[in-house]
Structure 1
Amino acid sequence: MLALMKACHPGPTLVVTAAGCALAIVVGRGVVGTLIVGAAVLAGQLSIGWSNDWIDRVRDHASRRADKPLADGSVAPRAVALAAFAALALCVPLSLAAGVLAGVVHLVAVACGWAYNLRLKRSGLSPLPFAVAFGLLPAFVTLGLPDRPWPAWWAPVAGALLGMGAHFTNVIPDLDDDLGQGVRGLPHRLGPAAARVGAATLLVAASVVIALAPEDRGGAITVAGLVAVGLALAGGLIAARRSVRQAALGVTVAVALIDMVMFVAQGGSLV
């Protein structure tokens, strides 16, 4: 069971689920609505995480990925495949329980994750499913409200930037292994240095949109977030004297987390 849970990409799964729940709370979805949003997002993310490891099991085994349970044989491929499809099947009614239009939007986002796993991760369009899926998350939350409003324009834009930044950040540590296995997404085609710059640029752009685009700019939390982003970038420049790769990864992860906090803090401006 522990190996199965490790194969679902627990870190990203929990972060995205927590973000969906937090947005549901701040827009006023209530207890039941928030639980439905959280359950739907969790099921979708579990299906994406498990399918990713199941689809990549041969490449991960060839690369001797110690962090992948399917690569070291600690969990059976059949178990992971069944878990992925079970989570996907469960995601459908849970998504629609949030409202038909909201549910369809969320299922499109989940389909983007599967499309990435199946094909797009090996193409120059690899950031596209992240842009669409993360951009649609605020819409899934707001479309479940009684009057079914679309979110303010800045939320899908910031979500798309965050999603693409997360994609770049996630693949940077594995660029060499991925290239050896024939995976050539956009970050791989750009190369390590350009991929690091791309990740930081996307996440900083998300910071600016989240901080400045909403009419209610979030007050002290937004100011603190921008200051924190600036400090993270400054710290990265200092740390880069020792290791450019580790500094870049640390900065992008830090900025991504700051952006998520700022995004949730701006949740009252979503509609």
Structure 2
Amino acid sequence: MDLTDRPPAPVRAPHRPRVLRELALSCHPGPVAAVTVLAAALAVGSGPGNGRRVLVTAAVLTGQLSVGWCNDAHDAVRDAEAGRRGKPVARGSTAPRTVWGAAFTALALCVVLSFACGALAGAVHLTGVLAAWAYNLRLKETVLSWLPYAIGFGGLPCLVALSLPGGPWPAWWAVAAGALLGVAAHLGDVLPDIAADLRAGVRGLPQRLGAARTRRLLPLPLAAATAVLVLGPPGAPGPAAVTALGGVAVCAVPACTRCAGPRPAGRRSTGARRRRPWRKGALAGTVVVAAADVVLLLARGTGVA
């Protein structure tokens, strides 16, 4: 038989393990895991009820999965133009409709699981999830890009507290600290991609500020969250809390004042060498502050007795 007479090879459907692997890469696994673990830890520390803890954790997990898949499916063209080959949809190894299907499936599960935690708890949590979807679809390109992060992170203590018997509200300082951590998460998440985002026409708050000012701003909401967690609860703060607040101030001030300063004219290489240690130290200090805030939030809990 002539080669030209051969029928075309049949198109094989993608293997299920490969599809699952690609979906796992598309969901933003790092942030999904971090937020889910934080919510689970808050649920464990809030009171008894293993079933309630599982429901809270599952609701947050499905919500985060839906947000991650929505982001990758919606931004597939933009990510491909930016050369982000680590994203399966952008590199063409997964069809956008597959990821959209996973996103809506996870969102539907999130609705069921959230309301299983309680009517008000479910409404508060879904408000945060829908705010994150609004960020993906539109708000990331506006000056309000920080708001969905503040709503989502501030809603975690609400979900955990409202899932308790009687549905008590969390303390104001737990919600405020969560919202501030959300703002910091937004700044830190966007910071590495500011240049690419500007080329793509994305002009959220960090992009409008620019990389240098965003890097200097990043420690401020983290330091504010520390102050709220130390000074917000009733009673005098203990020595450990005061020490944490002082340590955060030591780490945050250099990051705000010495990181990413303007480049001196005519001294490019020398200036770059001088700034590099400060920049690395400032970013390391920011990580330390963020870790301290998470530990404080877990130690303080939701403020529900």
TM-score normalised per structure 2: 0.82
The 8 Å contact of residues 181 and 222 in structure 2, kept in 1 or not, is answered as yes
Q: How does 1:13-162 map to 2 (within 5 A)?
A: 13-162=32-181
* 1:270 positional shift: 3.9
Aligned equivalents of 2:232, 2:154: Cα separation in 1: 15
Give the letter aligned to residue 213 of structure 1.
G
* 1:23 positional shift: 1.1
The 8 Å contact of residues 168 and 304 in structure 2, kept in 1 or not, is answered as no
- Secondary structure at the aligned position of 1:147 is classed as coil
Identify the match of residue 4 of structure 1 among 1, 23, 44.
23
* 1:21 positional shift: 1.1
Measured at CA, do residues 116 and 141 of structure 1 come closer, stay the same or move farther in structure 2, by a change above 3 Å?
same
Q: Which has the higher helix share?
A: 1
- Secondary structure at the aligned position of 2:220 is classed as helix
Choose between structure 1 and 2 for higher RCO, CA contacts under 8 A separated by at least 6 residues: 1
Measured at CA, do residues 18 and 228 of structure 1 come closer, stay the same or move farther in structure 2, by a change above 3 Å?
farther
* 1:130 positional shift: 1.0
Answer yes or no: is 1:212 the counterpart of 2:261: no
Measured at CA, do residues 111 and 268 of structure 1 come closer, stay the same or move farther in structure 2, by a change above 3 Å?
closer
Q: 89-98 or 13-22: which moved more?
A: 13-22
Aligned-pair Cα RMSD in Å: 2.3
Measured at CA, do residues 88 and 268 of structure 1 come closer, stay the same or move farther in structure 2, by a change above 3 Å?
closer
Q: Match for residue 242 of structure 1? A: 276
Aligned equivalents of 1:170, 1:196: Cα separation in 2: 11
Deviation readout 1:81-129 (Å, 9 max, x if unpaired): 1111110010011000101111111111100100100000000010111
Taking only the aligned residue pairs, the percentage that are identical comes to 50
Identify the match of residue 293 of structure 2 among 256, 259, 268.
259
The 8 Å contact of residues 223 and 249 in structure 2, kept in 1 or not, is answered as no
TM-score normalised per structure 1: 0.91
Give the letter aligned to residue 180 of structure 2.
L
Answer yes or no: is 1:166 the counterpart of 2:185: yes
Measured at CA, do residues 58 and 38 of structure 1 come closer, stay the same or move farther in structure 2, by a change above 3 Å?
same
The 8 Å contact of residues 231 and 237 in structure 2, kept in 1 or not, is answered as no
Q: How does 1:215-234 map to 2 (within 5 A)?
A: 215=234, 219=238, 222-223=241-242, 225-226=244-245, 229-230=248-249, 232-233=251-252
Aligned equivalents of 1:246, 1:221: Cα separation in 2: 27
Measured at CA, do residues 216 and 170 of structure 1 come closer, stay the same or move farther in structure 2, by a change above 3 Å?
farther
The 8 Å contact of residues 228 and 258 in structure 1, kept in 2 or not, is answered as no
Aligned equivalents of 1:7, 1:253: Cα separation in 2: 25
Q: Match for residue 263 of structure 2? A: none
Measured at CA, do residues 219 and 167 of structure 1 come closer, stay the same or move farther in structure 2, by a change above 3 Å?
same
Aligned equivalents of 2:156, 2:201: Cα separation in 1: 31
Deviation readout 1:150-195 (Å, 9 max, x if unpaired): 1111111111111011101110000000000010000111111211
Measured at CA, do residues 68 and 266 of structure 1 come closer, stay the same or move farther in structure 2, by a change above 3 Å?
same
Give the letter aligned to residue 259 of structure 1.
D
Give the letter aligned to residue 214 of structure 2.
A
Deviation readout 1:203-245 (Å, 9 max, x if unpaired): 1111111122112677466356435535644785699832555
Measured at CA, do residues 145 and 182 of structure 1 come closer, stay the same or move farther in structure 2, by a change above 3 Å?
same
Identify the match of residue 204 of structure 2 among 167, 172, 185.
185
Give the letter aligned to residue 107 of structure 2.
L
For the pair shown, which has the larger CA radius of gyration, 1 or 2? 2
Structure 2 residue runs without a partner (length 5+): 1-19, 260-272
Q: Match for residue 197 of structure 1? A: 216
